[in-house]
Structure 1
């Protein structure tokens, strides 16, 4: 069955409600299992989560090719550990999508 992530407002709302700011230290075990996915601040975390849920291969491949979505790297993990970072996260089982907090220009 073909699904349309653009029209799945129910899933979008569910993921939005479950998205949380979390300390990187709480995600290290998921990183060790290879389940943490980095999402660039250029993208909407919830939109990415919905598209992964819908297995939107075209969007995911495009983002990966552009370096906007990727498995979290060892360097990112080290940086987040050293800075005691907090990240926005959304779960699309078995993955935990993480996105750095957007810095304000104020």
Structure 2
């Protein structure tokens, strides 16, 4: 294309194809699933894996993180309802057949054993 053709044409428009119009709740549901420890291990090694107490709905915690509700998240951490996965937990799950419910709220991953 010649420089004259470029100057007469409309500028290129950039947009994400297939823009996600889902609600936050739908997005949280989409990024929730059951996984094994081998899926979670790299997130643990990166320091972004957190255990969520079964008394809290995973999506509620994820929504609070996504909405940057720092006070609420800190309160859950103080009470132990959210705990950063430590080496003791990782050692327990390494080589196990444990299945986890997990939710990705980038850059964090929330999890808890199923059953």
**Unmatched tracts of structure 1, length 5 or more:** 1-8
Shift of 1:29: 1.2
The TM-score normalised by the length of structure 1 is 0.81
Aligned to 1:32: 45
Aligned positions of 1:6-25 closer than 5 A: 10-25=23-38
Aligned positions of 1:58-77 closer than 5 A: 58-77=71-90
How many residue pairs align between the two structures? 94
For the Cα contact (< 8 Å) 1:12–1:47, is it kept in 2?
no
Distance in 2 separating the partners of 1:85 and 1:79: 10
Shift of 1:82: 4.1
Moved over 2 A (4+): none
Deviations 1:26-49 (A, max 9, x none): 111111110111111111001100
Shift of 1:84: 2.4
Aligned equivalent of 1:91, options 85, 92, 104: 104
**Unmatched tracts of structure 2, length 5 or more:** 1-21
When Rg is computed on C-alpha atoms for both structures, the one with the higher figure is: 2
RMSD: 1.5
